[in-house]
């Protein structure tokens, strides 16, 4: 990972690739690298779909190694959804493969001069960029099948579906999993629209003939990795709950505490939550011949993914994640797990963010386009997005756009991005993260559920404003650092509770790079990343006014606790005072 691959899609004669060393970006990886390049090279006032924006794809510090949980990839740009900086994170195989190919990042820059569609193939022999208009408007699953037929099955793909080609602000970028299925998505912020604006349909990666990246101190790395894995397996969340039931283990938990947004954030409990819970889902998957425990990339030991089969025992989609089940489920009043799985498949195939899409359909239901609980109409609406009809283009541009189009008041967004599956009135630490993250409403930016609900690493009352600012601040700093390592964010549960597991992670990094990184160094890295991101947003015109929740969260109490979001504005403005 000692070089950056730049592809100027607007070069004379067609896209041109060039390579250079890391230069000023040496030492950065993952989110730290995507945010550094965007912050330093993209004019903050540029149009997100124009030539000046750049799409940066970066593996993490430990991607491509034998390190457990190290296969996350960061994709950054100026977001067409928020208008600010964006890092969207995904699992799957591409991060591991890209790192073994030696690249710290791929940067797509410029704007195509025509309307041709390009595919990029990268292996140990170099980079090949070719026009392939036969790929136009192909959904992700069909696209990957075509790439397998052309390049074989020892590849990984980064691609967009029709939504990305149509430059919709809810468009995602798909990454293939171990089985070469386009199931892992960098979903948030409309990154797929930026890839579409660059005219790149798919990047095919092949690391055949290349070995794992080698640590500076192999024995110390091996020992640290072993201790790290032991810590993950011993923790009840990473060793038991997530492997058994996937992320959807949270449905019953959040519903019980009254923080499960239902009917477009009207209430905090869904009466039919048990029908779509992780426990129900895992039982059904096993019964039908699917899998309740599965890794999305090699080296994952938590294995919180799964494989979902339809009623006839045929593959339908990956195990729908908690956020997806909530967005298309309780948020829309839908309690049919098969319908939710179909919606998950369609989102992945057309290439849209499941959170944004589910929230958008909830807003559309409030507008009267469908009734809450009407699963078939929800499915039809996603098909409209995939076809690019007039209605589909409204919906495909997200919840905020749809709310304006249909005159809806209750639109759960911050900085234009839809909120995930935690009501900020009942889980107030999440409300602070939603409001203040440079990324827009994003649960992964600072997962306060850990202390507010799960009581991992501490206990902060979720219904009171006290302690929420400090909680969100610390988690946002830690998350920015973890996102830079290429590690899965779920390691945080064990790292927060087990000092020895945190030390094992530090030991892995130090053994690999020959560093002497400390806990303070991790904190400094997180602060540096957040500072770059906030600086970009400030130059893009963001002020404290953008670090707020929609007003209805402070005026409408949510059942069953009948609470509002009570963290004061002046306290929100202190989140980044360190």
Please give the residue range of the domain that contains residue 129.
Answer: 3-205
Q: Does 495 score more than 80 pLDDT?
A: yes
Q: Judge contact between 221 and 512, C-beta under 8 A.
A: yes
Residues 308-365 pLDDT 10s? 999 999 999 999 999 999 999 999 999 999 999 999 999 999 999 999 999 999 999 9
- Tell the residue number behind the tokens 């149009």, with chain if given: 47
**Euclidean distance between CA atoms 426 and 465, whole angstroms:** 10
Sheet strands (E) in 142-301: 156-159, 173-175, 184-186, 200-205, 291-294
Residue 137: which residues within 8 A CB-CB, separation 6 or more?
162, 165
470 in any annotated domain: no
| pLDDT of the residue at 291 | 87
Residues 127-136 pLDDT 10s? 999 999 999 9
417 in any annotated domain: no
Which CATH number characterizes residue 40's domain?
3.60.9.10
Q: Report the chain's C-alpha Rg in angstroms.
A: 22
74 in any annotated domain: yes
Q: Judge contact between 99 and 1, C-beta under 8 A.
A: yes
**How many domains is the chain built from?**
1
Q: Does 74 score more than 80 pLDDT?
A: yes
**Euclidean distance between CA atoms 372 and 406, whole angstroms:** 16
Q: Does 496 score more than 90 pLDDT?
A: no
| pLDDT of the residue at 489 | 85
% of the chain exceeding 70 in pLDDT: 100
274 in any annotated domain: no
DSSP label of 444: G
Average pLDDT of every residue of the chain: 96
| pLDDT of the residue at 200 | 98
Residues 464-484 pLDDT 10s? 999 999 999 999 999 999 999
568 in any annotated domain: no
Q: Does 70 score more than 80 pLDDT?
A: yes
**Euclidean distance between CA atoms 135 and 442, whole angstroms:** 32
**Strands 413-414 vs 417-418: parallel, antiparallel or unpaired:** antiparallel
- H-only helix segments in 396-440: 399-406, 428-436
29 in any annotated domain: yes
Burial of 469 (0-12, 13-18, 19+ CB in 10 A): buried
Give the pTM: 0.97
97 in any annotated domain: yes
198 in any annotated domain: yes
Residue 28: which residues within 8 A CB-CB, separation 6 or more?
22, 36, 104, 484
């Amino acid at each position: 990972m000692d070089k950056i691959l730049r592809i100027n899609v607007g070069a004379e004669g067609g896209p041109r690739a060039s390579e250079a060393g890391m230069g000023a970006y040496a030492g950065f990886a993952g989110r730290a690298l995507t945010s550094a390049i965007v912050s330093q090279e993209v004019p903050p006032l540029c149009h997100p779909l124009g030539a000046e924006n750049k799409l940066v794809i970066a593996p993490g510090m430990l991607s491509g190694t034998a390190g457990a949980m190290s296969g996350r990839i960061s994709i950054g740009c100026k977001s067409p959804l928020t208008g600010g900086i964006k890092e969207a994170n995904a699992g799957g195989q591409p991060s591991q493969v890209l790192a073994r190919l030696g690249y710290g990042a791929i940067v797509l820059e410029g704007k195509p001069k025509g309307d041709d569609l390009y595919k990029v193939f990268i292996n140990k022999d170099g980079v090949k960029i070719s026009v392939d208009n036969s790929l136009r408007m192909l959904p992700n699953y069909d696209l990957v099948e075509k790439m397998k037929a052309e390049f074989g099955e020892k590849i990984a793909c980064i691609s967009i579906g029709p939504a990305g080609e149509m430059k919709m602000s809810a468009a995602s970028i798909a990454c293939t999993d171990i089985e070469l299925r386009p199931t892992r998505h960098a979903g948030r912020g409309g990154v797929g629209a930026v890839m579409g604006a660059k005219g790149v349909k798919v990047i095919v990666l092949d690391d055949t003939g290349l070995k794992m990246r080698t640590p500076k101190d192999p024995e110390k790395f091996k020992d640290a990795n072993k201790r790290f894995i032991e810590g993950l397996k011993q923790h009840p969340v990473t060793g038991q709950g997530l492997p058994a039931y996937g992320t959807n283990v949270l449905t019953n938990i959040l519903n019980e505490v009254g923080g499960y947004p239902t009917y477009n954030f009207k209430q905090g409990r869904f009466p039919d939550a048990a029908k779509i819970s992780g426990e129900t889902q895992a039982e059904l998957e096993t019964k039908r011949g699917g899998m309740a425990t599965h890794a999305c990339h090699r080296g994952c030991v938590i294995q919180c993914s799964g494989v979902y089969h339809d009623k006839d025992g045929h593959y339908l989609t990956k195990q729908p994640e908690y956020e997806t089940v909530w967005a298309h489920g309780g948020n829309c009043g839908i309690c049919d797990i098969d319908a939710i799985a179909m919606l998950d498949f369609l989102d992945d195939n057309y290439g849209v963010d499941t959170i944004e899409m589910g929230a958008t359909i909830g807003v559309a239901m409030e507008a009267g386009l469908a009734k809450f609980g009407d699963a078939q109409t929800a499915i039809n609406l996603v098909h409209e997005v995939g076809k690019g009809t007039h209605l589909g283009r409204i919906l495909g541009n997200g919840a905020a756009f749809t709310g304006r189009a249909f005159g809806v008041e209750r639109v759960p967004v911050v900085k234009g991005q839809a909120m995930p599956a935690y009501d900020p009135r009942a889980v107030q630490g999440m409300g602070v993260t939603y409001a203040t993250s440079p990324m827009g409403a994003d649960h992964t930016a600072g997962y306060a559920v850990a202390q507010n609900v799960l009581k991992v690493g501490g206990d902060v009352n979720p219904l009171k404003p006290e302690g929420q600012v400090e909680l969100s601040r610390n988690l946002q700093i830690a998350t920015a650092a973890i996102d830079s390592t290429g590690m899965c964010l779920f390691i945080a549960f064990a790292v927060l509770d087990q000092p020895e597991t945190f030390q094992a992670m530090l030991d892995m990094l130090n053994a690999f790079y020959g560093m002497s990184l400390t806990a303070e160094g991790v904190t400094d890295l997180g602060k540096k990343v957040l500072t770059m991101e906030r600086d970009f947003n400030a130059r893009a015109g963001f002020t404290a006014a953008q670090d707020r929740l929609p007003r209805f969260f402070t005026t409408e109490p949510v059942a069953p606790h009948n609470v509002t979001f009570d963290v004061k504005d002046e306290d929100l403005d202190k989140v980044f005072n360190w």
